[in-house]
Structure 1
Amino acid sequence: MNIINKLTLRSLKENKKRTLVTIIGVIISVSMIMAVSTLGVSFLDIMKRQSIADNGEWHVQYSNVNAGQIDAITGDGATEKLILSSNGGYAKLEGAKVDERPYLFLKKYNEEGLKEFPIELVEGKLPSSKNEVAISEQVAKDAGVQFEIGDEITLDIGKREIEGEEIELGQNDPLQRGENGVTEELKVDSTETFTVTGVIKRPSWEPSWSPGYTMIGYIDKGSMKDSEQVNAIVILDKVKASLFDHAKQLAEENDIEKVGFNNELLRYYGVTDDDNLRFTLFSLLGIIMGVIIVGSVSLIYNAFAISVSERARHLGMLSSVGATKKQKRDSVFFEGAVIGAVSIPAGLLAGIGGISATFWFINSYLDGAMGISEKLQTVVTASSVLLSCLISVVTIFISTYMPARKASKISAIDAIRQTQDVKLSGKTVKTSKLVRKVFGLEAEIGLKNLKRNKKRYYATVISLVVSIVLFLSVSFFTDNLKKSVMMSQDGVDYDIQVYGKGGDSAELEDLARVEGVTDQSLHKTMQLSSLIDKKQFPEELEDMIEQENIPLENGRYQYYVNFYGLDEQSFKEYAAKAGADLEAFSDPEQRAAIVIGEISYRNPATGKFVETSSIKAVRGDELELTFTDFDTNKSEPFGKVTIGALTDQVPMGIGTAMAGGLDIIVPMDTLEAMAGSLMESGVQSQLFLESSDPMKTQKALEEAAPSNLYIYNVYERRQQEEQMILFLSVFTYGFITLISLVSIANIFNTISTGISLRKREFAMLKSMGMTPKGFNKMINYESIFYGVNALLFGLPISIGVMYLIHRAVGGTFEYGFELPWFDLLFVIIAIFIIVSSAMLYSIGKIKNENIIEGLKQENM
């Protein structure tokens, strides 16, 4: 090691605090880069494992192949494992209690398929011959039909068909019903006898609306007939981009009509043509890494710049004894290398440890988030480690490059005079006369102090600006995400929905009293229409009519109307929430109604969520309603309603109409009085429930509800979306916290170092008569100037970034741009607290300095 490098190491050891702060800053920077890259790899890993858990691990499927074609696929060099499967058909399940699930569905696999597909055995064993089956446990639990292991069952197996249609129905098609009952029939092809060998859990690929309970059978390739066809599912030896062309070529060579791919799984390997998810993920990770690198460069650069300033006289002395420019420059690069050698390994471990701890935290709270049952696992690959190291090395190099160039140019004379940092020209330190008049002499001196060394001043301001922009941008993004989810869930303020048939709600009223229900709302709904005059159109409707060139009827547009009748208690609560006078709705003959005037909906044409008004109207306006029988296409007057209140409040279970639609809410007896003979054919009854335990309540409803009622639990879906918000918030706020820690550490380092270098200046001011009160006042004003200047730059930049985020989210959601005033206030207060704390901390270290010792102080 040469003498220059030894002196550099000694300088690092002597300035332990500055060295430690720099190392910590680099460690946090490296850990964030490592955490982001690990997050990307780990996210793809969980999606891959989830896809395998849901649908099994396979890559290519050749449909309807015979024994000869199976041999060709098996002999292909790319094939590692071959799974055979077939849909054996449906059989009537005698004694089934659930009307919507009257069948058994036979799904067959060979031995490899039984191993690879997610089939979970409860008891017994899986079939090993073509005359054996394993039956879903749901047959006993839901259908009430009990099969014992060892039982022999004889089934008439066939296909589900609808008369006059050629399409064969499958497990994704629910039981087909019409006005006169079930419209499908089972066309029996064969009668087979099976021995029950085991009981399995309901397979993940079986939808809840499937009409058949799954029954697993066995395919014996050796006993296949020449005419028998099955599906050949291939697990490839190596997953690579050429698999698509290779599979199609193999299918063409062997006259295989259809070849398909597991695109969901393949996209997580990165070899699918439809690569939007992967592109989006790595684009996002790239942007985050870019922000980290920019922030880290500015912060780490500042640390090395301060180091060069402190070592100016040291470097000048080296120059005076013959050190070359290259040697002085290399001394700074060597300092960066030493910092990197210590920080990069520690940062890699910290990043991996941090993301592991985050995954542990998330796994304990996010059951089923995004519909994922698998747990997050930390996946570290050689490529992610190398990428993180490379990015970290480049970051440190960029951070040291400018200080190294500056160091190489320091001459012995400049170092002795110390003119490279402090600028004393009148123009440079000139301040406005207004500053002294308004704030006093101390404020003017404080402002001049900042202008004397602009580089250190700018470094501190940049650190503050980085923190401001990152915090506001991330918090705005998260707030917008929450608002977007709220808009997408508009009207979904309930846990369970029960659909009735017709206007008879007696059965629904009984269900409102099941276990766990904490709130309920019973609706009767009719689909009506109303001709609305042009002067009452909102702007969005006018634009839609103009763009789509929709003709008007005598200057009027036909609105569709969702006409709701609420039970007495629900309407009373809703009227209070809407600010309506309940007395105005007490007489059904008055036909007073509440109209939802502010609506939120997703525009199907653009895919955006929109907030707007539904109609330009006032209380007391009348709306004439029309009922249309869509079977006969005949319309008849339904009657008039008077607007008793306009509101933006929405009752439980109601999603607002779109532009050109109205939501009208009346008491139940008003709807029944107006509907008359249409109660049976024109009215739909629905019950919306909130529950303390939605899953338990759903089970109680299924046991108590007649088979002609449909129960839909929205609780699980809402939980997944809310958990997704938490999932993203953990990462986004974790990210902003780390960046802010780097910024705060750098601010403390910069201000503390700056104060230490100004000991002689402070001693001089005190020697000239500046009192402790005046000195504190000067320091306070310096803090204010730091904060004000940081906010003057940071807030406009942040607002610009927030607007760009708003525009980006505007691709899906459309609502007005609103500034997060609470976050802005928080940032303003936080900035002044950070700067003041740094200044007080720094002054605290020198407040007891002797004036004589301060005047003798050298910046060494």
Structure 2
Amino acid sequence: MNIMQKLTLRHLKENKRRTLVTVIGTIISVAMITAVATLAISFLDLIQRQEIADRGEWHVQYHNVSEAQAEAIKNDVSTKGYILSGNRGYSYLEGSQNEYKPYIFVKEYNEGGFENFPIALSEGRLPETPDEIVLSVEIMANAKVEYEIGDELSLEIGERVFLHEEKQEDPITQQYSLKVVDGEIQEIIENTVTKTYKVVGIIDRPTWEPAWSPGYTAITYTDETFISSESPVSALVILNKVDRSIYNYAEQLASKINLDTKFISYNNDLLRYYGVTNNDNLNSTMFSLVAVIMSVIIIGSVALIYNAFAISVSERARHLGMLSSVGATKRQKRNSVFFEGAVIGVISIPLGVVFGLLGIGVTFWFINRLLHDALNVSVKLTVVVTPMSILIAALVSMLTIFISTYLPARKASRISAIDAIRQTTDIKLTGKAVKTSKLVRRLFGMEAEIGLKNLKRNKRKYQITVFSLVVSIVLFLTVSFFTESLEKSIDLSQANLNYDIQLTFSQDRLDEQFVQSITSLEEVTDFSIIKQATFQAMVDESNISAPLKDLVKEEPDLLEQGKYPYYVDLYSVDDETLVRYAEKVGMNTSVLFDKAMLPAIVIEKTKYEDSKQGKFVEIETIQTSVGGKIDLYYQDWENEQSEFVDAITIGALTDELPMGVTYGGGVGGLTMFVSEEIFNELLTLDLEKRVESNISIYLESSDPLKTQEEIEELNNGNTYIYNVYKSRQQNQQMILLMSVFIYGFITLITVISIANIFNTISTSISLRKREFAMLKSVGMTPKSFNKMINYESIFYGVKALLYGVPVSIGIMYLLHRSMMNTFEYRFELPWMSILSVVIAVFIIVGTAMLYSISKVRRENIIETLKQENI
């Protein structure tokens, strides 16, 4: 250690407070960088483990392999795990009481499959031979077919074939629901073979089985010795190393074992979380976000650390000048500052990494309770530490310290002996630079004028303090506004959802007994059953909406014989709901079911986004009156023909919507409501095969969560349940989850800024001891002195708010404009957040000033005036 380094260490020891503030600020910045890097890696690990928990672990799949090919794949040096998987086929489930799930679907795995796929055994054991099988618990619970462990099960296993269709090239998988037309099943099982199995266990319903699949899952055993042309299997591989080379490697291996490359597929859903899928932007989005956050952290950290070293150079200017006068070179003086940064780094970086890992660990412990509801995951978020993440945190921290020390080091190297001893480098002033308005003295007195002059005289320190405050103000207000906007957007997205639970069915007709069971549940307070089909209506030019009239003036070819083609969403509502709805909109209920008249309630007003105006506007969808007629057509898009269906009579015009319908049409669209009887009348037997219709049930419930549980117990496996209440809760949990991270980040940035402010102000006050002593010596009273300091605090706060608040409002408005691409609501400033910021700014600055003044208040005037420096 040379003499310059020893002097630098002694200087750090003598200025313990400033050194401690710098070390703490650096530790915080390193901890934040470590936490962000660890968060990104840990979150990727979470979604990798969740994907494995849901769908199993594998990377590459080789289809239709022979025994020799399977052995070669198994023994390949890159293979870490090896799975054999086959779809044996479908068999009718005798006695099934679920008409939409009439099959058993037999799948087979080797031991690797049992280990790496999510198979939850609830009773018995897993198969060990091809003659053993485990059954899904749903066969007993849903299909009401009883099997016990030890039973013999004889199945005719084959492949599904759709009737009245051309030859199918690919097997029909579980992803395809049962094909039913007019209540009749339009598929059969062909090419069957008889297999007898012994039931050795019961499993939970596999997570990979779609809700609409027509077969209950059963699993048996296979291995290489049972592979044949009649029993093809796939080899799924878990690789030792997952990177972008797997694509070339898989093709090379396939070529080596004489397997066509068209029989290779990849688990892209899992691979993208390893960052090896080229067509996915998840990783680029995440790492871009991490880069932005780290950039903000570095900017805040550099502001603090640079300020600390710049002040250090100012304090040591006289000292460095004296060293220069006795032979210290520019390089030695520059290296002295770099050495100071290195010492700070050696202390701060290890501690910062440790505190960053501890902090993110505590955060994960807290948010794991929210993750299940917010992200619907079954695995926990754990801290994943990799050498790369630690190395990145350390390197970024070193870069931050280097940037912070570079300019002060250059400045230190250029200080001449004469200038340093005379201390003329820091303050170079003219009368114009410190000139203040006469209005300041008139309004606030001489103390305010002296305080303002001092801020102008120490402009650099003043700007650093203001910058630190502005960063905190902008971050806090922007994040507050963003969080409020998210909440408001969620409320708006669900504002028109006038129901609690929606049930959608995969079939084109309802099980009346199932519907009765649902609608009679104790917590269900109201319901509506809605069918929907799409038609076309030809409307006279005189009756079309105003925006369409403007459009056809520009493009007359849109009209067909003076009429404009509207698309029509035709809904049928159950009779009870329809009567209540008709009474609400003022329609005569006596004609509701008149099949000769075909009355309909038509939505006459709707909102849509006008691209020219850049906002949502309300329009009349059609300009007509009650009693008017609307001709419905069936549009055959394949043959480019229109077929007349019937004429609808407008029974009422309204902008009210019944439960379950949230959209009243748009420009060129109509929404109509008719009775079930009229709806079925319009869907003639000929049209019924061509017009797609959807069925949904909408429920209002006093306890939506309990109602959903009861429906799931009744569910026959062909119903999709959307719980609006639960979705809203999940969104709120997601916002809370985001808030934990965002406000934690803002808190740490604010801590850095506060440390910066305290450091700057307290050091500035310490350097002004002689100035204060001089003012007191010429008659400034303690009261006037306190007034001067208070005014300085006010000037700091006001200047920071004058910059910070407008910048924040600008960013908030940009966020609001981006939200307007989807939602419409008035731009409102978060006044409570702004008020909180105003109060916090003056508290921070005032506290920093009071703390600093407490250190110099009791100084002896004579002794202070005699001092050359602090």
Q: Unaligned regions of 5+ residues in structure 2, if any?
A: 592-599, 636-641
Structure 1 residue corresponding to 2:789, chosen from 779, 783, 790: 779
**Distance of 1:314 and 1:571 partners within structure 2:** 93
1:57, CA displacement in angstroms?
Answer: 1.7
Change (3 A) 1:549 1:362: farther
State the distance in 1 between where 2:643 and 2:407 align.
79
Q: Which residue of 1 aligns with 2:594?
A: none
Q: Choose from 746, 752, 771 the match for 1:736.
A: 746
* Shift of residue 336, structure 1, vs aligned partner: 1.2
The within-5 A match list for 1:324-723 is 324-367=329-372, 369-486=374-491, 489=494, 491-492=496-497, 494-498=499-503, 511-517=518-524, 520-522=526-528, 524=530, 531=539, 550-551=558-559, 554=562, 558=566, 560=568, 585=586, 588=589, 597-598=606-607, 612-615=616-619, 626=630, 628=632, 630=634, 633-640=643-650, 653-657=660-664, 659-660=666-667, 672=675, 686-691=696-701, 694-702=704-712, 711-713=721-723, 719-723=729-733
Once structures 1 and 2 are overlaid, which stretch shifts more, 62-71 or 200-209? 62-71
Cross-structure match for 1:607? none
Q: TM-score, normalised by structure 1?
A: 0.86
Farther off after superposition, 176-185 or 504-513: 504-513
Equivalent position amino acid for 1:356 in 2: G
Give the Å deviation of 1:270: 2.6
User: Structure 2 counterpart of 1:370, which letter?
Assistant: L
Q: Which residue of 1 aligns with 2:211?
A: 208
Change in Cα spacing, 1:287 to 1:51, as seen in structure 2 (3 Å) is: same
> How far is the alpha carbon of 1:584 from its aligned partner?
7.0
* Distance in 1 between residues matched to 2:562 and 2:366, nearest whole Å: 63
Structure-2 separation of matches of 1:564 and 1:225: 53
Q: How do residues 156-175 of structure 1 correspond to structure 2 at under 5 angstroms?
A: 156-165=156-165, 166-167=167-168, 168-175=171-178
Aligned partner of 1:214: which letter?
A: T
2:498, 2:660 within 8 Å by CA — same for their partners in 1? yes
Does 2:117 match 1:113?
Answer: no
Letter in structure 2 aligned against 1:280: T
User: How many matched pairs?
Assistant: 837
Match of 1:579 in 2: none
Residue 481 of structure 1: CA displacement? 4.2
1:653-685 CA distance string (max 9 Å, x none) = 43335642668799xxxx659969859989987
Corresponding residue number in structure 2 for 1:64? 64
TM superposition shift of 1:463: 0.6
Q: Does 1:5 align with 2:8?
A: no
Which residue of structure 2 lines up, in the alignment, with residue 181 of structure 1? Answer: 184
User: Structure 1 residues 767-776 or 259-268, which shifts more?
Assistant: 767-776
Pair 299,709 (structure 1): closer, same or farther in 2 beyond 3 Å: closer
Displacement of 1:133 in angstroms is: 0.4
Q: Which residue of 1 aligns with 2:22?
A: 22
1:65·1:230 contact (CA, 8 Å) conserved in 2? yes
The CA deviation at 1:62 is 1.3
Letter in 1 for 2:114: L
Q: Structure 1 residues 289-298 or 754-763, which shifts more?
A: 754-763
Could you tell me whether the CA contact under 8 Å between 1:447 and 1:782 is conserved in 2? yes
CA distance in 1, matches of 2:677, 2:74: 70
The match for 1:606 is: none
CA distance in 2 between counterparts of 1:119 and 1:571 reads 50
- State whether residues 297 and 398 of structure 1, in contact with CA within 8 Å, keep that contact through their aligned partners in structure 2: yes
Q: Deviations over 1:771-819 (max 9, x none)?
A: 4444343333322322232233334443454466567777x74657836
Q: Matched residue of 1:367: which SS?
A: helix
Alignment correspondent of 1:286? 291
Q: Which residue of 1 aligns with 2:143?
A: 143
1:84 is aligned to: 84
Letter in 2 for 1:821: P
Q: Is the 8 A contact 2:625 2:650 kept in 1?
A: no
Deviating more after overlay: 96-105 vs 224-233? 224-233
Sequence identity (%): 51
Is the CA contact (8 Å cut-off) linking 1:34 and 1:348 kept in structure 2? yes
Change (3 A) 1:211 1:520: same
The separation in 2 between residues aligned to 1:47 and 1:677, in whole angstroms, is: 47
Q: How far 1:231 moved relative to its partner?
A: 1.2
1:338 aligns to what SS in structure 2? Answer: helix
Q: What is the alpha-carbon distance in structure 2 between the residues aligned to residue 782 and residue 553 of structure 1?
A: 79
d(CA) in 2 for partners of 1:813 and 1:271? 32
Q: Please tell me whether the aligned partners of residues 534 and 556 of structure 1 are also in contact (alpha carbons under 8 angstroms).
A: no
Other-structure match for 1:229: 232
2:136, 2:216 within 8 Å by CA — same for their partners in 1?
yes
Contact 1:638 1:674 (C-alpha < 8 Å) held by counterparts: no
Q: Kindly provide the amino acid, as one letter, of the partner of residue 827 in structure 1.
A: V
Q: Indicate the SS of the match to 1:420.
A: coil
Q: Give the Cα separation in 1 of the matches to 2:479 and 2:546.
A: 34
Q: Is contact 2:626-2:653 (8 Å) kept?
A: yes
Q: CA deviation at 1:390?
A: 0.8
- For 1:727 and 1:796, how far apart are their aligned partners in 2? 29
Partner of 1:366: helix, strand, or coil? helix
Shift of 1:844: 4.0
Q: Distance in 1 between matches of 2:738 and 2:429?
A: 50
Distance (whole Å) between structure 2 residues aligned to residue 351 and residue 735 of structure 1: 12
Cα distance in 1, alignment partners of residues 74 and 771 from structure 2: 85
Displacement of 1:345 in angstroms is 0.7
Q: Which moved more, 1:250-259 or 1:520-529?
A: 520-529
Q: 1:821 aligns with which of 830, 835, 838?
A: 830
Q: Name the CA shift for 1:183/1:593 in 2 (closer, same or farther; >3 Å).
A: closer
| Farther-moved stretch of structure 1 (100-109 vs 707-716) | 707-716
Asked whether the equivalents of residues 614 and 662 of structure 1 are also in contact (C-alpha less than 8 Å), the reply is no
* Cα shift readout 1:491-526 (whole Å, capped 9, x = no counterpart): 456442235888999985773442444x54536566
CA distance in 1, matches of 2:561, 2:439: 68
Amino acid at match of 1:558: Y
| SS of aligned partner of 1:615 | strand
Kindly provide the amino acid, as one letter, of the partner of residue 409 in structure 2: A
Change (3 A) 1:493 1:727: farther
**What code does the residue aligned with 2:87 have?**
N
Secondary structure of residue in 2 paired with 1:63 = strand
2:195 aligned to which of 192, 210, 213:
192
**Two-structure CA RMSD over aligned residues (Å):** 4.0
Q: 1:828 to 1:231 in 2, by over 3 A?
A: same
1:627 to partner: Cα distance: 6.3
- Return the offset for 1:41: 1.3
How far residue 620 of structure 1 moved from its aligned partner, in angstroms, is 11
Ranges in structure 1 where 5+ consecutive residues have no aligned partner: 576-581, 604-609
Separation of aligned partners in 1, 2:698 and 2:41 = 42
Alpha-carbon distance, 1:761 to partner? 2.2
Shift in Å, 1:214: 0.8
> Per the alignment, do residues 552 and 316 of structure 1 end up closer, same or farther by CA in structure 2, a change over 3 Å counting?
farther
Offset, 1:857: 5.1
Q: Deviations over 1:207-258 (max 9, x none)?
A: 1221111100111422433554211212223333222123223334514351
- The answer to which of 335-344 and 219-228 deviates more is 219-228
C-alpha distance in 2 between matches for 1:72 and 1:583:
73
* SS of corresponding position for 2:502: strand
User: What letter is aligned with 1:238?
Assistant: K
Query: Which moves more between the two structures, 441-450 or 634-643?
Result: 634-643
Q: How does 1:748-763 map to 2 (within 5 A)?
A: 748-763=758-773
Letter in 2 for 1:768: V
1:150 corresponds to which letter in structure 2?
G
Q: Give 1:578's aligned residue.
A: none
Change (3 A) 1:695 1:100: farther
Q: Are the counterparts in 1 of residues 211 and 720 from structure 2 also a CA contact under 8 Å?
A: no
Return the alpha-carbon distance in structure 2 between the equivalents of residues 708 and 336 of structure 1. 66
